[in-house]
Amino acid sequence: MTIEFRDYLQTKTGITEEQYAQMEPLIVYRKIAKNTILLRQEAVCSEVYFVEHGLLRSYTVDEEDKLHVIQFAPEESWIGDRNSFYFGEPALFFIDAYEDSEVAVLDARFFEHINKIPEFAGFQSRILHNHIRLLQIRINMLMAASAEARYLDFVSRYPNLTLRVPQWMIASYLGITPESLSRVRKELARKNFRGDVQISPP
């Protein structure tokens, strides 16, 4: 489903058509082909992306060239390297398009403008606090939760991604091996869990 950025802003923040018209020149709408890299690790992040259609992801690559998924960004998601964008530090991860995608591309000028709009200030605060909340939950899950609990949390947060990304990529996001994820899915299938219609191993 395509979520237009204008509709999203107006629904979430209550900005008017006139306010949107003022910021529209600062928004770049772009179609991104699958596998396009939008940000490279160690580069400086100068853009934030809002996904209207498709799927972006962020990931890091370790010294052994192993990929570790940090975030999935399906429709109606924001993605960027906040540390690099706001503080000019080298990016900690890559961002690429896992599917053909349509995004709104936003740079510092956009946020400088929109942060002056009172209706957006409260929304920006909620976005930040929700981001921190999700990071805390993610850290707790990675440190203390079982593989099954991590997977169930993933399915609840991303109910359609099990149909869109391979099992090894979900395992990478969960911080477990593909073999562990396969065992979890088999056990859930034995319990007749139906949250994932692709519960049987691919």
Find the domain containing 42 and state its range.
5-137
pLDDT in tens, 149-182: 999 999 998 988 999 999 999 999 999 999 999 9
pLDDT in tens, 70-123: 999 999 999 999 999 999 999 999 999 999 999 999 999 999 988 888 878 778
For residue 110, being part of any structural domain is answered with: yes
Residues 95 and 167 in one domain: no
Residues 131 and 164 in one domain: no
Residues 40 and 82 in one domain: yes
Q: How many domains does the chain have?
A: 2
**Non-local CB neighbours of 179 within 8 Å, separated by 6+ positions:** none
Contact 71, 174 (CB under 8 A): no
Assign residue 23 the CATH number of its domain.
2.60.120.10
Rounded to two decimals, the pTM is 0.88
Residues 155 and 76 in one domain: no
